[in-house]
Structure 1
Amino acid sequence: MSTPMFRAVSYNMLAYGRSAMRTRAGQHEMLRLLRPDVVCLQEIYAADADRDELDRLVTSIAEGLGMVALAVPARHSDCHLAILWRPEYHVLSSKAYDLLMWHGLGVVRLDIGADIPLTVAVTHLAPWNPDKRLCDAITLTGQLPLTDATIVGADWNSFGADPEYDPDPDWAALAPQWIARQVRWNDDPHAPPLADRRPAHMMQRSGFSDVAPTLGAAWQATGGHRGGWQRREDVFWTTRPAALREYQVVDTDQAKGLSDHLPIVVDLDPKALTQMPPFARGDQGVPAGQVTS
């Protein structure tokens, strides 16, 4: 008998709360049809970190999906986060962190019926400042120990570590004011732009695996269909690459009409969550195949 897979979805909802009710209902329907076990959400809009409004919005999403939720306030932004999970899973712990991150960090440890718990985290890196994105990644890795079986759903607002998988954009096609927010700083204003990949390098050097390239999935953009450039800005990271089974981008007309981001989906084998990579066991060196510079 095959092992039931565990499905995680990450999705930036494009200011859910300011959007039309029809859009919200369409997002609920799309997420329900994906049959997720957990959902990591970004961009739930509540002005001035209004906690009552945030809780109301997150509750409406949870009720629409028949799930339980943790609201994660983004204290330095109006775009907040949430984690949702199926009600049959027992919650071992849950916490919403500020930690001076631009959007914050939500972490839930769940008993999903596997041999060990699964830690689910959600975050959203800073949109405008490359150095702040690196600081957010440093904080993220400091809060999520490699010994835990962890999946992180994120609006990464950045690049992957490998330029062969996530190539630099056509810089000449971008507005100049955006280039400085995406490249490594150089005191020479005439130096060729170079994508700032430090947040992804920080994750890899800390032992996390980027799900899409780890599985060898064909590259697909998750943003850019409403302007800007085509890029993979939504990602999953995990400390248990051996548990990964399938990755997909929900690239449908319905999804493109509901947000400027596309949902991403990963299926994991709960029986493989105990298989720690050598780096997580304390062996020396960076995991094989990971970019280090």
Structure 2
Amino acid sequence: MHTPLIRAVSYNLLNYGRSAVSTRSGQHELLRFLRADVLLLQEIWAEDTDQLDQLVHAIAGALGMTAFAVPARHSSNHLAILWRPEYAVLAQRARDLQLWHGLGIVRLDVGAAVPLTVAVTHLGPWNPSKQLDDTYTLTGQLPLADATLLGADWNSFGADPDYDPEPDWTALTREWIERHIRWNDDPAAPPVADRRPAQLMQRSGFHDAAATLGAPWQATGGHRGGWARREDVFWTTRPAALRSYQVIDTPAARNLSDHLPIMAELDPQALAAPPTPA
């Protein structure tokens, strides 16, 4: 019997809550069109948890989904996880752990042989060492024994320069360069992207969905200024379940946020496969 695939979308909403009502309505419309079963959101701007809950439930109401708000204790840009109401919630928790934006984890019964754990995070924008520290926390909080899909504004680089090429450093100002390269005591050394966060995820057994499926490289940010790079990533402990990956690059998406949504589909029947080395 054919089993429907599980469709996941990860999306940085660019200060949802401070953005114009028309922008929020457009994002709702885009997300309704994408028909996600699981939605992992970053950058919901709120001054306190009450405002965050109101905003997240407004999104959930617009999409007909169930929601879990994830406060970012060290930022005004928070996170959320949404899912189809048919999925039973087995566990949910929000983690601070000195993470830049936090970590949200929800364990769902999706009708498969094993539960699906979905998670959301957002690495810091300026400090590769902090990004690496936060990645150590992620690998400690997301065990390989679970069938997990993590959606993240990664704010960093992919593990493999053959897939995620070095940026054109000559096109960036020096202050930008220093915040994104691997530290070298020689200031005259050629700049090299700091890939340690992604390499740690890979060495810890997580798989980058886009690279795993061999999807054509495509930037998810930079279309509204800055530089084109693949800032948004899905990581999974069950690569055998991956069936598709796509960047939603449309005029509407480019107009609604400085990030493009990413979408992946998983086969629930393959979630029970044991984890494989990355």
One-letter code of the match for 2:187? Answer: P
Runs of 4+ aligned structure 1 residues displaced above 3 Å come to none
Q: Per-residue deviation at 1:2? A: 3.0
Question: Is the aligned partner of 1:212 residue 2:210?
Answer: yes
Report the TM-score, using the length of structure 2 for normalisation. Answer: 0.99
Q: Tell me the equivalent position of 1:57.
A: 55
SS at match of 2:55: helix
Q: Per-residue deviation at 1:187? A: 1.2
Q: Tell me the equivalent position of 1:38.
A: 38
Q: Residue 38 and residue 278 in structure 1: after superposition, are their counterparts in 2 closer, same or farther (change >3 A)? A: closer
Q: Tell me the equivalent position of 1:134.
A: 132
One-letter code of the match for 2:246? Answer: Q
Q: In the alignment, is the contact (CA less than 8 A) between 2:238 and 2:276 conserved in 1?
A: no
Q: Tell me the equivalent position of 1:256.
A: 254
Identity of aligned residues (%): 71
Q: Tell me the equivalent position of 2:168.
A: 170
Q: Tell me the equivalent position of 1:125.
A: 123
Q: Tell me the equivalent position of 1:81.
A: 79
Q: Which runs of 5+ in 1 are unaligned?
A: 280-286, 288-293
One-letter code of the match for 1:156? Answer: W
Q: In the alignment, is the contact (CA less than 8 A) between 2:12 and 2:257 conserved in 1?
A: yes
Please give the per-residue CA displacement for 1:109-159, whole angstroms capped at 9, x wherever unaligned: 000000000000000001111100001111000000001000000000000
Q: Which runs of 5+ in 2 are unaligned?
A: none
Q: Tell me the equivalent position of 1:284.
A: none
Q: How does 1:66-77 map to 2 (within 5 A)?
A: 66-77=64-75
Q: How does 1:200-239 map to 2 (within 5 A)?
A: 200-239=198-237
SS at match of 1:57: helix
Q: Distance in 1 between matches of 2:17 and 2:83?
A: 21
Report the TM-score, using the length of structure 1 for normalisation. Answer: 0.94
Q: Distance in 2 between matches of 1:72 and 1:103?
A: 9
One-letter code of the match for 1:26? Answer: G
SS at match of 2:56: helix
Q: Tell me the equivalent position of 1:290.
A: none
Q: Per-residue deviation at 1:276? A: 1.5
Q: Distance in 2 between matches of 1:249 and 1:68?
A: 24
SS at match of 1:202: helix
SS at match of 2:91: strand
Q: Per-residue deviation at 1:3? A: 2.4
Please give the per-residue CA displacement for 1:22-76, whole angstroms capped at 9, x wherever unaligned: 00000001001111000000000013xx111111111111101110111011111
Q: Distance in 1 between matches of 2:102 and 2:43?
A: 12
SS at match of 1:178: helix
Q: Per-residue deviation at 1:278? A: 3.7
Question: Is the aligned partner of 1:5 residue 2:5?
Answer: yes
Q: Distance in 2 between matches of 1:277 and 1:124?
A: 24
Q: Per-residue deviation at 1:176? A: 1.0
SS at match of 2:61: helix
Q: Per-residue deviation at 1:167? A: 0.6
Q: Distance in 2 between matches of 1:29 and 1:9?
A: 14
